[in-house]
Structure 1
Amino acid sequence: MLRHKGTQILLLMMCIISLCATTLGTFLSMYAAMLVFVSSVLLIGCFFVFTRRRYREIENLSNYLRQISAGDYSLDVRDNQEGELSILKNNIYKVTSMLSEQSSLLQQDKSQLTDAISDISHQLKTPLTSMMVMADLLSDDHLRADKRKEFIHNLRIQLERLEWLVSSLLKLSKIDAGTVQFKKDHIVVGMLVQIALEPVLIPMDIKEQTVNINGEDTVSLIGDLNWTAEAIINILKNCIEHTQEGGEISISFSENTLFTEIIIADNGKGISKEDLPYIFKRFYKGKNSNTDSVGIGLAIAHSIISTQNGDIDVQSEKGKGTRFRIKFYKQVI
Structure 2
Amino acid sequence: MEIVLLIVILLLLVLAAFLLWKIHVLKQDIYRFTKNLDTALNTMLSGKKLETRPYGEDDLWGMIYERLLRLSNMYTHKNKEISEEKELLKELVSDISHQTKTPIANVKLYLEMMEEDKENIPEYMKKLNLQADKLDFLLQSMVKISRLETGTIKIQKQKLPIARTLAESIAAVVPKADKKKVQIFAECDENLMLDHDKKWTGEALFNILDNAVKYTEPGGRVHISVCRQEVFTRIGIKDTGKGIVPERQGAVFNRFYREPEIHDSEGIGIGLYLARKIITMQNGYIELESQAGQGSTFKIYLPNTD
Same-fold call, TM > 0.5?
yes
Q: Secondary structure at the match of 1:279?
A: helix
Instruction: Indicate which of 115, 118, 121 corresponds to 1:143.
Output: 118
The reply to whether residue 264 of structure 1 matches residue 264 of structure 2 is: no
Report how far residue 331 of structure 1 moved.
Answer: 4.7
Quote the Cα distance in structure 1 between the aligned partners of 2:230 and 2:251: 31
Measured in 2, the distance between the counterparts of 1:110 and 1:185 equals 32
* 1:126 aligned partner, one-letter code: T
Larger radius of gyration: 1
CA contact (8 A) 2:284 2:301 kept: yes
Pairing of 1:280-291 with structure 2 (within 5 A):
280-291=253-264
The CA distance in 2 between the partners of 1:111 and 1:233, in whole Å, is 29
Question: Structure 2 matches for 1:114-263, cutoff 5 A?
Answer: 114-140=90-116, 142-145=117-120, 148-263=121-236
Q: Distance in 1 between matches of 2:164 and 2:113?
A: 48
What is the CA RMSD across the aligned residues, in angstroms? 2.5
Give the Cα–Cα distance (whole angstroms) in 2 for the partners of residues 163 and 316 of structure 1.
Answer: 32
Distance 1:160 1:82, change over 3 A: closer
* 208 and 281 in structure 1: CA distance in 2 versus 1, 3 angstrom threshold: same
SS in 1 for 2:185: strand
How far residue 92 of structure 1 moved from its aligned partner, in angstroms, is 2.2
1:61 is aligned to 2:36: yes
CA distance in 2 between counterparts of 1:273 and 1:67 reads 52
Question: SS at the partner of 2:31?
Answer: helix
Deviation of 1:36 after TM superposition, in Å, equals: 1.7
Query: Take 1:88 and 1:26, find their aligned partners in 2: how far apart are those partners?
Result: 52
Q: Are the counterparts in 1 of residues 92 and 146 from structure 2 also a CA contact under 8 Å?
A: no
Displacement of 1:81: 3.0
TM-score, normalised to structure 2, is: 0.88
Q: Does 1:35 align with 2:10?
A: yes
Whole-Å separation in 2 of the counterparts to 1:234 and 1:288: 20
- The offset of 1:182, in angstroms, is 4.1
Could you give the per-residue CA deviations for residues 233-264 of structure 1, whole angstroms, max 9, x where no partner exists? Answer: 11111112222232221100122453322111
2:222–2:240 contact (8 Å) kept in structure 1: yes
Residue identity opposite 2:87 in structure 1: S
1:111 maps to amino acid: E
Kindly tell me the number of residue pairs found equivalent between the two proteins.
304
C-alpha contact 1:68 1:96 (8 A) present in aligned 2: no
For residue 10 of structure 2, what is the amino acid of its counterpart? L
The separation in 2 between residues aligned to 1:227 and 1:72, in whole angstroms, is 38
How far apart, CA to CA, are the structure 2 residues paired with 1:116 and 1:171?
11
The equivalent of 1:81 in structure 2 is 56
Aligned to 1:99: 75
CA distance in 2, matches of 1:77, 1:187: 47
2:276–2:286: 8 Å Cα contact kept in structure 1?
A: yes
The amino acid of 1:323's aligned partner reads T
User: Structure 1 residue 213: deviation in Å?
Assistant: 1.4
Shift of 1:93: 2.6
The Cα of 1:49 is off from its aligned counterpart by 2.5
For residue 6 of structure 1, what is the aligned residue in structure 2?
A: none
Q: 1:181 to 1:95 in 2, by over 3 A?
A: closer
Q: Contact 2:204–2:276 at 8 Å: present in 1 too?
A: yes
Output the amino acid matched with 1:37: L
**C-alpha offsets along residues 249-300 of structure 1, whole Å, 9 cap, x if unaligned?**
1100122453322111112222233332232232222334433431211122
**What is the percentage of aligned positions where both structures have the same residue?**
25
- Aligned match of 1:4: none
Task: Rate the CA distance shift 1:331–1:35 in 2: closer, same or farther, 3 A.
Answer: farther
Distance 1:307 1:72 in 2: 30
The offset of 1:196, in angstroms, is 0.8
**CA–CA separation in structure 1 for the residues paired with 2:56 and 2:171:** 68
Greater RCO structure (CA 8 Å; 6+ sep) = 2
Q: Which amino acid aligns with 1:33?
A: V
Aligned to 2:292: 318
SS in 1 for 2:263: coil
Q: Distance in 1 between matches of 2:282 and 2:262?
A: 28
